[in-house]
Structure 1
Amino acid sequence: MKRTLPILLCAALAACAPRGQVDPDVMQIATAPLTCSDKPQCDIWWQRAQDWVRGHSMYEVQTVTDSLIQTAGPGGGKRALAYEITKTPNGDGTTTIGFAAHCDSAIGCKPDPWAAGAAFKQYVRTGIEQSIPGGKGASETGDAGDAPQSAQGASAPAP
Structure 2
Amino acid sequence: MKNKALLAALCLLATTACSTQGQVDPDVMQIATRPLTCSNKAECDLWWQRAQTWVASHSKYKIETANDSLIQTAGPDGGKRALAFEITRAAGPDGTTTIGFSAHCDSSLGCKPNPWEAGADFKQYVRGTTGTAASAPQGSATPSQNAPDATHPETMPRNTTRLPNGEVMSQ
Instruction: Kindly tell me the number of residue pairs found equivalent between the two proteins.
Output: 140
Q: CA deviation at 1:75?
A: 1.4
Q: What is the alpha-carbon distance in structure 2 between the residues aligned to residue 151 and residue 29 of structure 1? A: 23
Instruction: Give the residue type in structure 1 aligned to 2:77.
Output: G
Q: What is the alpha-carbon distance in structure 1 between the residues aligned to residue 133 and residue 25 of structure 2? A: 13
After superposition, the CA RMSD in angstroms is: 2.8
Are residues 43 and 11 of structure 1, via their aligned partners in 2, closer, same or farther at CA, if it must alter by over 3 Å? Answer: farther
Which deviates the most, 20-29 or 46-55? 20-29
Asked if 2 retains the 8 angstrom alpha-carbon contact of 1:101 and 1:154, the reply is no
Provide the TM-score with structure 2 as the length reference.
0.72
Instruction: Give the residue type in structure 2 aligned to 1:151.
Output: P
What do the CA deviations read for 1:14-61 (whole angstroms, capped 9, x no partner)? 542322111111000000000001000000000000000000000000
Out of 51, 57, 60, which is 2:59 matched to?
A: 57
Q: Secondary structure at the match of 1:106?
A: coil
Asked if 2 retains the 8 angstrom alpha-carbon contact of 1:30 and 1:156, the reply is no
The aligned runs of 1:80-99 (5 Å cut-off) are 80-99=82-101
The aligned runs of 1:143-154 (5 Å cut-off) are 151-154=157-160
Match of 2:151 in 1: none
Match of 1:130 in 2: 132
Match of 2:68 in 1: 66
Which structure 1 residue ranges, 5 or more long, are not aligned?
133-138, 142-149
Q: Secondary structure at the match of 2:28?
A: helix
Q: Secondary structure at the match of 2:112?
A: coil
Which structure 2 residue ranges, 5 or more long, are not aligned?
145-155
Asked if 2 retains the 8 angstrom alpha-carbon contact of 1:117 and 1:156, the reply is no
Instruction: Give the residue type in structure 1 aligned to 2:76.
Output: P
What do the CA deviations read for 1:58-115 (whole angstroms, capped 9, x no partner)? 0000000100000000012000000000000001100000000000001100000000
What do the CA deviations read for 1:91-147 (whole angstroms, capped 9, x no partner)? 110000000000000110000000000000000001644379xxxxxx895xxxxxx
